Structure 1
Amino acid sequence: MPIIYQPIDERLRKAYENTDYRVDAPALCLHIHEPCPALDQLLTEQQSTTAVFITAWNPGSRRLSSSENERRQQALLELVAASGWMAFPGYGHGRAGDWPAEESLLIIGPDETQARRLGHALGQVAIVGYRKGGNAELWSCVVGDQ
């Protein structure tokens, strides 16, 4: 039976849509509902078709201490390294400035199912998914009733 994900709360959805998802090297910035030619190029170079922008910080959109966020992010780094996926450090920063920037990773290779499962395991409400040639999308990670 397929997993059913809950819709994202309207307030949170707008916050995600008004966030810059940045990677410094290679330089790129994702915005929900927009294409990213720089990421398309990176996916071509990496011979992949999908990517996900994800963080371990502040699960459930609840602020944690810096030390707890850093511990969680380190665990994510170790998990990604063990998976063999290529990852680039980045950060998500809301344009309104009312939420601190969150250390994140742009991970090349996981498909939507793998990415959502990872986001769910990290306690995230949503993650930013990307398919080569498409637009950045918001993927819910909150499992609903079957």
Structure 2
Amino acid sequence: MDKNLQQAYLNTDYIIDDELGFWQINIGDTDRPLSRYLNTFENPTAAFITAYNPMSKRLKEGQNKQRLQQLQQAVGKLGLASCKGYGLSQQNDWPQEHSLLITNITKQQASQLAKDFQQAAYVWINEHGLVSLVGQQDY
């Protein structure tokens, strides 16, 4: 992954804002409360994935919203739950991207979804609450 793109992911706040409440996660951090929540599932892991702007190419808002609906449908077909969220650039140099925090998901499923929706990377939360970036080269 290009270093500038990687830095953009690192300089993003990943916000979960749903019926669960409000959480902000960042790559490299460990989020214990989120980990406790995830450990209520069979697979105590989660992925924060967007369908917006495939391969970091900006699309019109209507196209992005349609892609997000398709991601929600794909998640539903897998029988997985999700919470609404968004990625927000700390430097305000990239538009907000609506996303999903998908719970009870395996890394293989997450990688396949990211690949299907042409994402350069996604955010992975392991069973200990460690937040990491998974780049396309790792799919």
Q: Under a length normalisation based on structure 2, what TM-score does the superposition of the two structures give?
A: 0.92
Superposed counterparts of 1:45-84, under 5 Å? 45-84=40-79
Shift in CA distance, 134/16, structure 1 to aligned 2, threshold 3 Å: same
Q: CA deviation at 1:91?
A: 0.3
Deviation at 1:121, TM superposition (A): 0.9
The residue number in structure 2 matching 1:16 is 9
Q: How does 1:1-146 map to 2 (within 5 A)?
A: 8-25=1-18, 26=20, 27-142=22-137
Q: CA deviation at 1:143?
A: 7.2
Distance (Å, rounded) in 2 between the aligned partners of 1:9 and 1:97: 19
Determine if contact 1:124/1:142 at 8 Å carries over to the other structure.
no
Q: Quick one: structure 1 residues 134 and 88, their matched pair in 2 at CA, closer, same or farther if it must change by over 3 Å?
A: closer
Structure 1 pair 104–88 and aligned structure 2 pair: CA distance change class (3 A): same
Equivalent residues, number = 137
- Aligned residue for 1:45, secondary structure, equals coil
RMSD of aligned alpha carbons: 1.5
- CA 143–137 in structure 1, closer or farther in 2 if over 3 Å, else same: closer
Take 1:112 and 1:127, find their aligned partners in 2: how far apart are those partners? 10
Conservation of the 8 A alpha-carbon contact between 1:29 and 1:36: no
Which shows bigger deviation, 29-38 or 68-77? 29-38
Q: Using the alignment, how far apart are the partners of 2:32 and 2:42 within structure 1?
A: 15
Find the counterpart in structure 2 of residue 4 from structure 1.
none
Name the SS for the 2:134 alignment partner. Answer: strand
Q: Secondary structure at the match of 2:93?
A: coil
Given residue 76 of structure 1, which amino acid in structure 2 is its aligned partner? L
Unaligned 5+ residue runs, structure 2?
Answer: none
Structure 1: 5+ residue runs without aligned partners? Answer: 1-7
Change (3 A) 1:122 1:142: farther
SS at the partner of 1:139?
A: strand
Q: Cα–Cα, structure 1 residues 116 and 32, in superposed 2: closer, same or farther, change >3 Å? A: same
Runs of 4+ in structure 1 displaced over 4 angstroms? none
